[in-house]
């Protein structure tokens, strides 16, 4: 069956019914309406931060969507070719329905990668298709791996105005051999991510499905003005480090309408590691997360840290749902990290089947190397949680700061936690923290005394929340 026959049948049906419908109207109106309907049905429309003047299809560059032919060269030459249009209205590369096997490739500026419905990018399982690239300056030696790190499947480096979108097309990392080899401790380099975008401003990732990454799924690092929305991320819950989205040393980020099932944190907010992150000094700040649904039995819905040495500030999370997940919005740091986590606002969480609701720890003791300063202690302050309903919970709150440097400014209000049959006797365990609570059950620890307050959530909107979206399109018949 031709790839478009279903749609063409639909088109004919629609046009036919419209013709009958408008039969009673005068001819010129009917004609103009037909032209409009035809136009609508032969183009694909999509919302994006910028539209493109030039369009190309992967097959023009030798792409073969049979699931077996390697398309790395097709992607690389298509993008090299389309980069010529960066200063002339930009370009969009359409990936049609099919299975497109590929190794790592780089994106370009003023560029859109569009995955049509039924388009699946399959990541090669051959390590040689992922070159070894430079370590990240804010992380030092990548997780102690002497050989550095593998390039991600899709890389964007030092770009402006990049869109990865589609009609829910899929990028499948085919991570199984990577997970197995990692579990056996056989790697000398850090596994590839599915998408990594560095030093880029104006980034949109939307309306796609990402699955089975060898490691993290989406890693924007040193970026600004990032919109991630309508993204589904699916990985087996038992595989290592398959984090969903990791905003890392980024400013002005909006993550909305995402559904994540993962073997690690659904979203992990980071900003570099120990002395390397402190030196690089680039925080993650002004981040909005909204309408996230998470399933992650061994990790957090949203983790702040543990690599947070450049600082994390002004995070606003709302309308968060977690099911069968280890914790909700978790803070993790360790002596040596330095940095700060402050001005964190969380409201409207619905949690079902959780090990922890509130989990804050200063004892997440993994280090890049022994060069860290044990006296570099994070400042944790102004952490607000309100309007929370949780069911089937084992432990309500475990909050522990540093003896030499207590975590301050906690506020928890309007939280109703219902315990599981296996719930621990001690529901709250607080050490070296300061804060207040209001209308919280079960009754919080003494370090969170009752105060008649509603924990704050900013009233203003961040600029990234009001970024205008244009309606872009390309002609279906073009294919
Ligand atoms: C790439 O760009 C050049 C110059 O703009 C153009 O002439 C050529 O046809 C393009 N190549 C392909 C394979 O489309
Ligand atoms: C991507 O671009 C970077 C920086 O220019 C380069 O080092 C790297 O080799 C490129 N990777 C691929 C797969 O082309
Ligand atoms: C990208 O930008 C960073 C920061 O400005 C710079 O250090 C790095 O060399 C640039 N990389 C490339 C490949 O241009
Ligand atoms: C996109 O595809 C995924 C995987 O098939 C599916 O779970 C999800 O519901 C789809 N999303 C939309 C908006 O259609
Ligand atoms: C993209 O996803 C958003 C949010 O899920 C949805 O509102 C929108 O209709 C989708 N757009 C397309 C072109 O699929
Ligand atoms: C709650 O504790 C029980 C007993 O230890 C355990 O089996 C269960 O997995 C825990 N629930 C979660 C969500 O971790
Ligand atoms: C990195 O090396 C340090 C010191 O040798 C060690 O303590 C730490 O566990 C290592 N980290 C990882 C992730 O392997
Ligand atoms: C308490 O939280 C629940 C759940 O989010 C919400 O429905 C309710 O309106 C909140 N109550 C107040 C007084 O804000
Ligand atoms: C409470 O937390 C502290 C610090 O993390 C820990 O040492 C202690 O064992 C915990 N107590 C209980 C009863 O879980």
Gap from CA of 104 to ligand 2 centroid (Å) = 9
What residues are annotated to the active site? Answer: 264
Which protein residues are within 6 Å of ligand 9, measured from CB? 400, 426, 429, 431
Could you read off the pLDDT of 428-477 as tens digits, one per residue? 999 999 999 999 999 999 999 999 999 999 999 999 999 999 999 998 64
Q: Which of 72, 74, 149, 157 to mutate to test the pocket of ligand 2 (most atoms within 8 A of CB)?
A: 157
Place of tokens 């579990």: 183
Could you read off the pLDDT of 175-231 as tens digits, one per residue? 999 999 999 999 989 999 999 999 999 999 999 999 999 999 999 999 999 999 999
Gap from CA of 387 to ligand 8 centroid (Å) = 5
pLDDT band at 8 (very low <50, low <70, confident <90, very high): very low
Instruction: Say what percent of the chain tops pLDDT 90.
Output: 86
Q: Is 104 in the pocket of ligand 2 (CB under 6 A)?
A: yes
Gap from CA of 129 to ligand 2 centroid (Å) = 12
Q: Under CATH, what is the fold of the domain 45-217+460-479?
A: Pectate Lyase C-like (2.160.20)
Contacts of 92 (CB under 8 A, 6+ apart): 52, 54, 55, 56, 111, 112, 113, 114, 163, 472, 474
Q: Is 207 in the pocket of ligand 5 (CB under 6 A)?
A: yes
Could you read off the pLDDT of 12-51 as tens digits, one per residue? 444 444 443 433 344 444 445 555 555 456 789 999 999 9
Could you read off the pLDDT of 86-109 as tens digits, one per residue? 999 999 999 999 999 999 999 999
Could you read off the pLDDT of 235-292 as tens digits, one per residue? 999 999 999 999 999 999 999 999 999 999 999 999 999 999 999 999 999 999 999 9
Between 398 and 142, name the one with better pLDDT: 398
- C-alpha to C-alpha distance for 17 and 6, rounded to whole angstroms: 17
Q: Under CATH, what is the fold of the domain 265-448?
A: Pectate Lyase C-like (2.160.20)
Q: Pick the atom of ligand 5 nearest to 45's CA.
A: 13
- Angle, alpha carbons 16-17-19 (nearest 5°): 65
The whole model's pTM is what? 0.91
Could you read off the pLDDT of 353-375 as tens digits, one per residue? 999 999 999 999 889 889 999 99
Ligand sitting nearest the alpha carbon of 427: 9
Gap from CA of 169 to ligand 4 centroid (Å) = 9
The per-residue pLDDT of the chain, averaged, comes to: 92
In DSSP terms, 404 is beta-bridged to: none
């Amino acid at each position: 069956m031709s790839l478009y026959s279903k749609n063409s049948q639909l088109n004919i049906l629609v046009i036919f019914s419209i013709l009958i419908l408008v039969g009673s109207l005068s001819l010129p109106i009917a004609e103009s309406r037909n032209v409009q309907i035809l136009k609508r049905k032969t183009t694909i429309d999509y919302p994006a931060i910028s539209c493109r003047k030039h369009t190309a299809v992967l097959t023009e560059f030798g792409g073969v969507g049979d699931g077996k032919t390697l398309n790395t060269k097709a992607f690389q030459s298509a993008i090299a070719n389309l980069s010529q249009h960066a200063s002339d209205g930009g370009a969009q590369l359409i990936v049609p329905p099919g299975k497109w096997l590929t190794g790592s490739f780089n994106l370009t500026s003023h560029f859109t990668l569009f995955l049509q419905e039924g388009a699946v990018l399959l990541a090669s399982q051959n390590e040689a298709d992922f070159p070894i690239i430079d370590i990240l300056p804010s992380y030092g030696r990548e997780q102690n791996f002497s050989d550095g790190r593998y390039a991600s499947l899709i890389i964007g480096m030092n770009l402006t105005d990049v869109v990865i979108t589609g009609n829910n097309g899929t990028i499948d990392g085919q991570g199984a051999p990577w997970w197995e080899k990692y579990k056996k401790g056989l790697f000398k380099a850090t596994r590839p991510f599915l998408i990594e975008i560095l030093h880029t401003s104006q980034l949109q990732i939307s309306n796609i499905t990402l699955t089975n990454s060898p490691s993290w799924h989406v890693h924007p690092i040193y970026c600004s003005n990032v919109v991630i929305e309508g993204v589904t991320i699916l990985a087996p819950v038992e595989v290592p480090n398959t984090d969903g989205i990791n905003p890392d040393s980024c400013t002005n980020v909006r993550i909305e309408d995402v559904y994540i099932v993962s073997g690690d944190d659904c979203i992990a907010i980071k900003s570099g590691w120990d002395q390397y992150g402190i030196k690089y000094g680039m925080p993650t700040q002004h981040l909005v997360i909204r309408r996230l649904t998470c399933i992650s039995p061994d990790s957090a819905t949203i983790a702040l840290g543990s690599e947070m040495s450049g600082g994390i500030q002004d995070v606003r999370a709302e309308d968060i749902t977690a099911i069968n997940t280890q914790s909700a919005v978790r803070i993790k740091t360790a002596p040596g990290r330095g940095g700060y986590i402050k001005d964190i606002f969380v409201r409207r969480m619905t949690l079902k089947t959780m090990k922890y609701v509130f989990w804050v720890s200063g004892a997440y003791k993994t280090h890049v190397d022994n060069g860290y300063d044990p006296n570099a202690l994070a400042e944790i302050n102004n952490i607000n949680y309100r309007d929370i309903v949780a069911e089937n919970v084992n432990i309500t709150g475990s909050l522990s700061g540093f003896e030499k440097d207590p975590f301050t400014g906690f506020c928890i209000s309007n939280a109703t936690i219902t315990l599981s049959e296996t719930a621990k006797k001690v529901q709250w365990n607080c050490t070296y923290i300061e804060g207040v609570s209001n209308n919280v059950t079960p009754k919080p620890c003494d370090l969170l005394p009752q105060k008649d307050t509603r924990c704050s959530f900013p009233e203003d909107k961040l600029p990234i929340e009001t970024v205008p979206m244009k309606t872009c399109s390309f002609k279906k018949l073009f294919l």
